[in-house]
Amino acid sequence: MDNDHIKLLQKLVSFNTITPSCIDAVRFCEELLKKWGFTTRIHQSGNVPNLMAYLNRGSKTLCVAGHLDVVDPGDGWTYNPFELVEHDGKLYGRGTNDMKGGLSSAIIAIRDFIKQPSDLSIMILLTGDEEVMTDNGMKSLMNYVTQYHNDFIIGVIPESCSPKNSGEYIKIGCRGSMNINLTSVGHQGHVACTKNNHLHKFVDTVNNLVNFHIDDGNSEFEPSTLQLTSIDVGNSVRNIVPNKITAEFNIRFNNVRSPNWIKQAICNLIPNTITANIETLSEPFIGCSGEWQRKTQTIVETSLNKTVNVGTAGGNSDAQTLHKYMNVVEIGSPLSQAHTANEFITRSDMDKLRKLYYDIFIGISILIKDRNYC
């Protein structure tokens, strides 16, 4: 095996692609894919650059999708986050794990795959806003793409999603997401004179929400969870009770309870002295089921020569949009390294994923020869 997937990762890491500043990386990928015979288009939506690349080889299309944007590196790095550094078999850099490593392995696997005879067309979709998921990324890109293509059989996202080992988990769906913002406005005063501190009632409400049990999950999804993500009074001194306090929460919810049921249950825990804003960001979904799920699992297990797990654990991704148009699976590196300081992917995992993605593409190509199946 050559090192082209490592070289591609090195190039992609060198682009500072903090959301949505991805245009240089998008243009680089466009030129690379053009050399391999792809027809390309940069789809600019608002401030987000996205890329569509298509290679027409038959009436059925495999979609490979990913994102080039990364989160801010923050502090605590030993190495320059935008320069690939290898040490003890680990490749360090922002986005190496989420998801430029998997994406580089998949793109080079596509290059290797298209050298083989096949009736399977390839669509590559790259977005620039997955880390914040506005309407300008995959949603806008698919609105454009489906004006011309609607023959997708399955989508593969080389996303970091594995609980442990690269490639050994097939993610077929995800829980939904809901944000809660609470605000309490009360009397500002000196601590020595305050008798009814509205912050105390607010903290009681926060505790009630944190301890609220939503459900126990089911065979498809983990239990729903509510997490406190921020609490703020904007107060820099100790002898003032501030007039305002806010808190933010996120709920990851399954299909046991409806979003409306959850909203009503949350509202029942909040007194009328506190203002609540509750927004459903996404619904839970299963993106691949039935025969396609079983066939994909068989292909992966054959490639790895071991049994793999299938599930819905982990965070949201562009599968949230893609599943509305096609069966979609996520297969990639361990999620535990995503968004960390000194983020890395191992060289061995890069090699493993490149081979796995190639085997998946070959396996799907063989499947579509049975026209009745697809």
Q: Tell me if residue 69 is catalytic.
A: yes
As a whole number of angstroms, the distance between CA 259 and CA 279 comes to 10
The enclosing H or E element of 262 equals helix 259-268
- Does residue 83 carry a catalytic annotation? no
The single residue of 30, 69, 343, 359 carrying the catalytic annotation is: 69
| Letter string b/e over residues 59-73, b meaning 16 or more CB atoms within 10 A of that residue's CB | ebbbbbbbbbbbeeb
Active site residue: 30, 98, 112, 130, which one?
130
Q: How far apart are CA 36 and CA 198, in angstroms?
A: 64
Q: How many CB atoms lie within 10 A of CB 21?
A: 17
Q: Is there a cis peptide before residue 133, judged by omega within 30 degrees of 0?
A: no
Contact 142, 325 (CB under 8 A): yes
Contact 79, 92 (CB under 8 A): yes
Q: Which residue(s) pair with 329 in the sheet?
A: 156
Sign for the CA dihedral angle at 126, 130, 135, 139 comes to positive
Contact 199, 245 (CB under 8 A): yes
Give catalytic residues, as residue numbers: 69, 130
